[in-house]
Amino acid sequence: MTSTGYGTAATPDLLPEAPVDQHPPGKRRKIASGSWPRWIILTVAAIYFIGPLLAAISFTVQDHVHGGVTFSAYRQIFTTPANGQVGFTTALVYSLEIAVTTIVLTLLLLLPTQLLLHLRFPRVRGLVEVITLLPLVFPPVVLVVGVDDVFTWVGKNTHSPLYKVISYIRQDSHPYILVFLYVILAMPFVYRTLDAGIRSIDSRTLVEASRNLGAGWPTVLFRVLVPCLRTALINSAFLCFALVMGEFTISKILNYTKPFPVWLYQLPTTSGQVQAAVSVFSLLLVEVLLLVIGALNWRRAVEKKG
Amino acid sequence: MTSAGRVESEMSTQVEELPKARGTGSARSRRLSFGWLGLVPFFGYVFLVFMVPIGFILYNAFRKTVHGASVRDPVTQQFVRTDHTSFTGSNVSNSLKGVYRTAVVNSLQLSAVVAIIGAVVGVLLAYAVVNSKSNALRQIVIAAAAVTANFGGIPLAFLFIATVGNAGMVTTFLKDHLNISLQNDLHFQLATTAGVALVYLYFLVPLMVLVMTPALEGLKPQWAEAAENLGANRWHYWRYVAGPVLLPNFLGSVLLLFCSSFSAYATAYALVGDSFPLVPIQISSVLSGNVLSGQENLGAALALDMIVIVLPLTVVYQLLQRRTSRWLA
Amino acid sequence: MENNVAGRGVRIASAALAAGALLVSVAACSSSKSSTSAKSSGTTSSAPVSWSTAQSATAGGGMDALVAAAKAEGTLNLIAVPRTWAGYGAIIDAFTAKYGIKINSENPDGSSGDEINAVKSTKGQSSAPDVVDIGNSYALSGAQEGDFAPYKVATWSAIPDAQKDAGGLWFSDYGGYIAIGCNAAKVGGTCPKTIKDLDNPAYKGDVALNGDPTSANAAFEAVWAAALANGGSATNIQPGIDFFKKLNSERIFNKTKVTPATVQSGETPIVLDWDYLNLGNAATLQKAGITWTTAVPSDGLVSAYYAQAVSINAAHPAAARLWEEFLYSQDTSAGQNGWIRGFARPIELPAMQTAGTADTTALAKLPAVTDPTPFAPTPDQVSAAKAVVTQKWAAAVA
């Protein structure tokens, strides 16, 4: 779903909390507003954004043989493809496993580091922030060229332990190399999300207070900080999830065929209906998930205020 | 623990925790060195998984292997040849010739066009949303933008193929009911640069909306009132007040859109296939072996081209970002 | 008492390092263990391991030993072998039926490049491909790079010298002619029979290649066929590029990616592709009520053979070699005849026709082609032509 992830760069919170509009609409006056051009723009935007979704849905339910409507394309999603590919559930679960591993590794790597930076090395934060922006400068297409070059170089000596390690992490059944690379891709967004979260909770006071009350470090981390950072952690997890479930570039160029987007692309389809059906299905799934999480965030924000 | 003991440990904790606590020299340096160790996983990881591959690109882009004569080993039947590897500029120069040159030019043009169109449309949309009376519209659009900005990739491409592809709903509707051929009469085909641009806007415009909405909301109504009081009309307001304030943010966003579409791969790949003249697609084509012998490191050279184009733009973007916070905070 | 965040960071760091070290040692241990077990089974049961270096059936201990070893391995990994390509589906089924060896067919729509990549990158994995079926230029470069294990099938002498590597690193398997496939109903009744026929305004938007010539072998050879029809030769492919440039400017050339869907829907009613693929598709299309004709253009006779090779990193070396023996056997149910039934011309066809082992019924369904001087560019000429196409194609059909 995420072709580049730049969208998530702009939205550390996937769905911003219901903001209090400090400039209520009534106060914006004639000098800056006009109503009919606004409605034209909104209508055109609505057509452009909702249109393809509706068109795709109607495309997928067309019955070319008998005319009328059929859901056979959606039923076919779950049958085994004729060309020897794995099935829909296998591909989905494959990507899900990679996503979960990525989330765990990213949070394991970034949360302690960011807490350490925030509490002990505030001046290094600038450097780390620049580092976390590097994956935006060197996009996945570029990164995968480098990774491929590393593989070629390591492959020149097939008896070295390094070759064995690289071979192991490249294996189709446990593609750790994908996990490692996805952590890098997720870094800019997860860093910003966690950073916003850590800044907002005054972690220094929390840590001092709990230490003063005699808490050990695990307690401080898991029972004090993590619950306070729950929104940020959930948002980060979801960012990673969306990134991994939609990541095509690296997995395709490194010749993995089971991750979900690659699987979807290679799905044999005589009319394009099944591919469109899977696309509609997965996009709606992501939308629903996002709205659910947004609603949860919203409700917590409302509860906090009330 | 006795209460006395607790008080003592509390006090010693407080003494240690104060940021500028002067403990004994050895305790302090021990603490600092352990602290730095805590950062090792992060820096080590980034170095291993990120810097090393990039380093390989920068190195290999300038390396060429010339194959010596092959001699067949009579026992194993394998060819043995001595290769000579040396530094060269030919990879980079080849990466700017022929189809690769077409790809670079095409990618630059595509990215520039979608960046500008996406920015303008996005800003207009953000403006329309920010000025509306209803709060609900704003929430809906922001939420929808957050969702669609994360679309892209394969599913999005298939959505558009189902809409305006050669067998898409709109295409067949036009052909069957209005006798208009999308390809021949309207000169539009999805599997072209124009088609790719159309699809890219789908996630670039929401990105723009998300970035510009806070900026537009940062325009204080007091400025508009003050301008009006001083006799400015709408044009003057925008030209002299709001425009300059928003300009760094706007330009930064244009750059963001440019870099985003320049490096995008999945959507274009699904639409136009694996030989289309766009740089990311050419890179993947080269990596899957479609190179002539002697040009094995062409992929690294193309990657280097991408880095050279995107890096300065990102630096400018960062500089512009620092300027935006001044007025709109 | 180190009550600070740094100390915590240290503990995390050391835990991570320990985990990492554990991972590496497990990896090293597991891979060395698997090789030891292979060796031990090798010494006790005369040799799955020695088959990975056996250069022929007799050198490895005889056909019976090969069959036994292959059955012990139990599996064969194929890559980029679609069932509908040159009758492979039936050949795979026949092999499994005869020897009980299960065949894993990975990435059926992959290209020759994908196959070579897989050979290079999957050493030591159980999913590593055992054999490859690749274009001629890939066979030559793969041999240079040590991707293949030498092996000479029992019928080695029936393969012409020019169509095999002298050491057995690769050997041609089947081939065909570039042909024009056509759905008469969608092009106004008359199908083009020669390359020159394609240049007809009646075929506006109809003519497509199977892929892009810069990356797909069939499309590349089709451009060469167009070159031959327009005064080109083995040393000059430019007329082919110019021909398609002309077709493109007249909007006859359709750049849509050809898929079964586009053929069936009539979006690409004329496709230049291998004759065996066109003929194979005709059978499927017949079921959908579409008549798909195939014509080999007499003005652009381009034929090419694909090549077989055994991977040097084959996961199942005995099964790999048995598969090759099966493919090159002239039995009625084996590979060579299987390819005839798939509308392709097997490399041993001349020998089979002399020996009378060819399936004549199937042979009769192949298009009759008079080709007194077969098109046979040298590897250097192929590389040169590829270079020209890589540089000039995109601009020509922009």
- Taking the Cβ of residue A208 and every Cβ of chain C, the question of whether any pair is shorter than 8 Å is answered with no
Contact A52 B160 (CB under 8 A): yes
In the three-class reduction of DSSP (H, G, I as helix; E, B as strand; rest coil), residue C172 is classed as: strand
Do C152 and C85 share a structural domain? yes
Residue B154 structural domain:
91-328
- The reply to whether residue A180 touches residue B49, judged by beta carbons under 8 angstroms, is yes
Please compute the mean of the pLDDT values over residues A117-129 and round it to a whole number: 87
Q: Are residue C229 and residue C326 in the same domain, yes or no?
A: no
- DSSP 8-state class, residue C212: -
What subunits touch chain A, counting only 3 or more CB pairs under 8 A? B, C
CA quadruple B158, B163, B165, B168: dihedral, nearest 10: 110
In the predicted model, is pLDDT for residue B27 greater than 70?
A: no
The closest CB to that of C390, out of B70, B81, B292, belongs to B292
CATH of the domain at C243: 3.40.190.10
Q: Is residue C341 part of a domain?
A: yes
B67 touches chain C (CB under 8 A): yes
How, if at all, do strands C131-134 and C207-209 pair?
unpaired
CB C308 within 8 A of CB C125: no
CATH superfamily of domain region A84-305: MetI-like (1.10.3720.10)
- Pick the residue of B8, B12, B77 with the most C CBs within 10 A to test the interface with C by mutation: B77
- Confirm or reject contact between B124 and chain A (CB < 8 A): yes
Query: Same domain, yes or no, for C267 and C223?
Result: yes
Please indicate, yes or no, if residue B99 is contained in any of the structural domains: yes
pLDDT tens digits, one per residue of C159-193:
998 889 999 999 999 999 999 999 988 888 889 99
* pLDDT of C2 higher than 80: no
B6 within domain boundaries: no
Pairing outcome for strands C207-209 and C270-274: parallel
- A155 pLDDT band, cuts 50/70/90, is confident
Q: Are B61 and A142 spatial neighbours (Cβ–Cβ below 8 Å)?
A: no
Q: How far away is chain B from the Cα of C269, in angstroms, using its nearest Cα?
A: 14
The candidate with the shortest Cα–Cα distance to A53, out of A260, A283, A246, A242, is A283
Using CB atoms within 10 Å of the CB of residue B86, give its burial: 0 to 12 exposed, 13 to 18 middle, 19+ buried. exposed
Could you tell me if C274 and C310 lie in one domain? no
Which structure tokens are listed for B116?
């500008």
**For the ranges B227-236, C20-29, C258-267, C388-397, which has the lowest average pLDDT?**
C20-29
From chain A residues 160-179, the ones with a CB under 8 A of any chain C CB are 161, 164-165, 167-168, 170-172
Residue written as token pair 């009328």:
A68
Kindly state whether residues C64 and C153 are assigned to the same domain.
yes
What's the average model confidence in pLDDT over C336-360? 92
In this complex, do B299 and A148 lie within 8 Å of one another by their Cβ atoms? yes
User: Most C CBs within 10 Å: which of B99, B182, B279, as the mutation test of the C interface?
Assistant: B99
pLDDT at B232: 83
Per-residue confidence (pLDDT) for residue A223, from 0 to 100: 85
Q: Among the ranges C90-94, C133-137, C389-393, which has the highest mean pLDDT value? A: C90-94
User: Domain containing C245: what range?
Assistant: 176-303+373-396
Tell me, yes or no, whether C273 and C350 share the same domain: no
Closest alpha carbon within chain A to C82: A83
B310 CB neighbours in chain A (<8 A) are 137-139
Question: Which residues lie across from C273 on neighbouring strands?
Answer: C179
Mode of pairing for the β-strands spanning C148-149 and C303-311: antiparallel
Query: Which pTM value belongs to this model?
Result: 0.82
Element (H or E) spanning C357, and its range? Answer: none
pLDDT for A19 beyond 50: no
Same domain, yes or no: B34 and B164: no
C260 vs B226, higher pLDDT: B226
Question: Is B101 in CB contact (< 8 Å) with chain C?
Answer: no
In this structure, the answer to whether residues C120 and C194 fall within a common structural domain is: no
Q: How many domains does chain B have?
A: 2
Banded model confidence at residue C124, pLDDT cuts 50, 70, 90? confident
Q: Which of A215-229, C1-15, C38-52 has the lowest mean pLDDT?
A: C1-15
- Chain C neighbors of B72, CB-CB under 8 A: 166-167
- Asked if pLDDT for residue B252 goes beyond 50, the answer is yes
| Residue C66: inside a domain | yes
C94 and C195, same domain (yes or no): no
Stretch C9-15: mean pLDDT: 40
Rg (chain C; Cα; Å) = 25
Are B35 and B168 in the same domain?
A: no
C265: closest chain B residue by CA = B167
Which of A110, A217, A262, A267 should we substitute to test contact with C (largest number of C Cβ atoms within 10 Å)? A217
Within 8 A by CB and 6+ apart from A111, the residues are A194, A229, A233
pLDDT of A98 above 90: yes
Nearest to A165 among C7, C27, C261 (CB): C27
Whether residues B318 and B183 share a domain: the answer is yes
Closest by CA position to B148, among listed B211, B212, B206: B206
Residues C205 and C233 both lie in one domain: yes
Out of C6, C205, C391, closest to residue B31 by CB: C6
Measured between CB atoms, which of A11, A247, A276 is closest to B162? Answer: A276
- Distance between CA B72 and CA B60 in Å, rounded? 29
Q: What pLDDT shows up at residue A84? A: 67
- Indicate whether B292 and B154 sit together in one domain: yes
Q: How confident is the model at residue C369 (pLDDT cuts 50, 70, 90)?
A: confident
- The answer for B 142-181 residues in CB contact with A (under 8 A) is 142-144, 146-156, 158-163, 165, 167-170
Name the most confidently modeled range: B51-60, B159-168, C3-12, C388-397. Answer: B51-60
pLDDT in tens, C304-333: 999 999 999 999 999 999 999 999 999 988
Measured CA angle at A108 (ends A103, A112), to 5 deg: 135
pLDDT at residue B82 greater than cutoff 70: yes
- By CA distance, what is A257's nearest residue in C? C107
pLDDT at B328: 65
Chain C: list its partners (3+ Cβ pairs within 8 Å): A, B
Q: Report chain B residues whose CB lies below 8 A from the CB of A242.
A: 150
Looking at the fold, whether C162 and C252 belong to one and the same domain comes out as no
Do residue C328 and residue C317 come from a single domain?
A: yes
Bridge partners (DSSP) of residue C394 are none
In a domain, B83, yes or no: no
Determine the distance in angstroms separating the CA of B206 from the nearest CA of chain C, rounded to an integer.
Answer: 30
Å from A243 to nearest chain C CA?
24
What pLDDT is stored for residue B294 in this prediction?
64
Band (A284; pLDDT cuts 50, 70, 90) = confident
A-C interface: how many C-beta pairs under 8 angstroms? 71
Q: Do B307 and A137 make contact, defined as CB atoms within 8 angstroms?
A: yes
What residues of chain A, 234 to 293, have a C-beta less than 8 Å from chain C? 255, 257, 266, 268-272
Tell me what percent of the residues of chain C surpass a pLDDT of 70.
88
| pLDDT exceeds 60 at position A76 | yes
Tens digit of each residue's pLDDT (9 = 90 or more) over A42-68: 899 989 998 998 999 999 888 776 777
What are the structure tokens assigned to A276, written together? 């469109």
Do residues B53 and B190 share a domain?
A: no
What are the chain B neighbours of C4 within 8 Å (beta carbons)?
16-17, 31, 34-35
The helix/strand/coil state of A252 is helix
Give the residue from C398, C390, C389 showing the smallest Cα distance to C241: C389
List the single residue in B with minimal CA-CA distance to C2. B31
Q: Which residue has the higher pLDDT, C16 or C199?
A: C199
Mean pLDDT value of segment A161-165: 89
pLDDT tier for residue B31 given thresholds of 50, 70 and 90: low
Q: How confident is the model at residue C108, as a pLDDT?
A: 81
Nearest to C12 among B41, B77, B79 (CB): B41
Banded pLDDT at A5 (limits 50, 70, 90): very low
A255 neighbors C117 (Cβ within 8 angstroms): yes
Q: Between A266 and A102, whose confidence is greater?
A: A102
Q: Nearest C-alpha of chain C: how many angstroms from A113?
A: 7
Residue B196 within a domain = yes
Q: What is the 3-state secondary structure (H, E, C) of B153-169?
A: CHHHHHHHHHHHCCCCH
C117 to chain B: closest CA residue? B288
Q: Distance (Å) from the C-alpha of residue B34 to the closest C-alpha of chain C?
A: 6
Asked if B102 and C143 come within 8 Å (Cβ–Cβ), the reply is no
Looking up tokens 């966690």, which residue turns up? A194
Q: What is the mean pLDDT of residues A121-127?
A: 87
Q: How many domains does chain C have?
A: 2
Max CA distance (Å), chain B:
95
A176-185: average pLDDT: 96
CB nearest B288 (choices: C12, C113, C168): C113
Q: Are residues C288 and C316 in the same domain?
A: no
Residue ranges per domain, chain A? 32-70, 84-305
Q: Does C31 reside within a domain?
A: no
Choose between C4 and B195: higher pLDDT.
B195
- Name every residue whose Cβ is closer than 8 Å to that of residue A195 and which is 6 or more positions away in sequence: A114, A129
| Alpha helices per DSSP H over chain B | 3-17, 25-46, 52-60, 90-94, 98-130, 135-148, 154-164, 169-177, 193-217, 221-229, 234-236, 243-262, 266-272, 279-287, 298-328
ipTM: 0.83
Residues 163-182 of B with CB under 8 A from C: 166-167
